Amino acid sequence: MPISVTNQDYGRIHLVADSRRQPLLASSVMGMLLFVLIEAMLFAGMISAYSIIRSGAMIWPPPDQPRLPIEETAINTAALMLSGLLLFVAHRRFRRDRARARTPLLLSMLLGAVFVVFQGVEWVALIREGFTLTSSSQGSFFYLIVGMHALHAVAALGVLAYVALRLQRGWLASSQLAAAEVFWYFVVGMWPIIYLVVYL
């Protein structure tokens, strides 16, 4: 990686040490991977807690709770997967011709935003039907886990927006794109697991 990229990465000049080596993994990517490790354990904690409560319950789902919108969410899941795929396309294009990465990147963000908005609409409908944080332990876990995922999705969309801005200005380093990708793939990859465990 050329020095100028390293320096740009952190907006700092005095990171000379970094440029004296050729790290296997750029620091920004490694930092993001570590962050993702933490968050993966966070979700692991919530999902195993959910499984324990669910397997210990006499009847599941708890009585008088509305049915979760499985079919609609399946479509939404597909949208999110597609978004991940588009980001990968952006990555491929970025390597050859930076300008052509723009469209798939923006489309990927758009689909990500659609996912989040659709999720919000779903929540409103569920709350209308009496399915809330406190209506049952299913409700508590549903909003906890899905909400935590939504929070990550929004944060990752913010990171992608920052990346898009830098791409626009021509300042985007490939390590920055890679770090943002790690974050988004985590959000995308986490979702099918949540869908399987929480919805089905």
Task: Provide, rounded to whole angstroms, the least separation between the CB of residue 134 and another protein.
Answer: 5
3-state secondary structure 10-73: HCCCCCHHHHHCCCCCCHHHHHHHHHHHHHHHHHHHHHHHHHHHHHHCCCCCCCCCCCCCHHHH
Residue number with CB closer to another protein (52 or 99): 52
CB of 22 to another protein, least distance (A): 9
Positions touching another protein (CB under 8 A) are 3, 10, 12-21, 23, 25-27, 30-31, 34-35, 37-46, 48-49, 52-53, 56-57, 62, 133-134, 136-137, 140-141, 144, 148
CB of 95 to another protein, least distance (A): 22
Query: Considering beta carbons, is residue 52 or 74 the nearer one to another protein?
Result: 52
How many C-beta atoms lie closer than 10 Å to residue 18's C-beta?
17
For residue 154, the minimal CB distance to another protein (Å) is: 17
Comparison of 27 and 89: residue with beta carbon closer to another protein: 27
Select 16 or 125, whichever has its Cβ closest to another protein: 16
Residue 151: name the closest of 118, 121, 187, 104 by CA: 187
Taking the least distance from each CB to another protein, the nearer of 44 and 155 is: 44
Q: In angstroms, how far apart are the furthest CA atoms of the chain?
A: 64
Contacts of 47 (CB under 8 A, 6+ apart): 145, 193, 194, 197
Q: How far is the CB of 56 from another protein (least distance, A)?
A: 6
Half-sphere exposure of 74 (CA within 13 A, CB side): 3
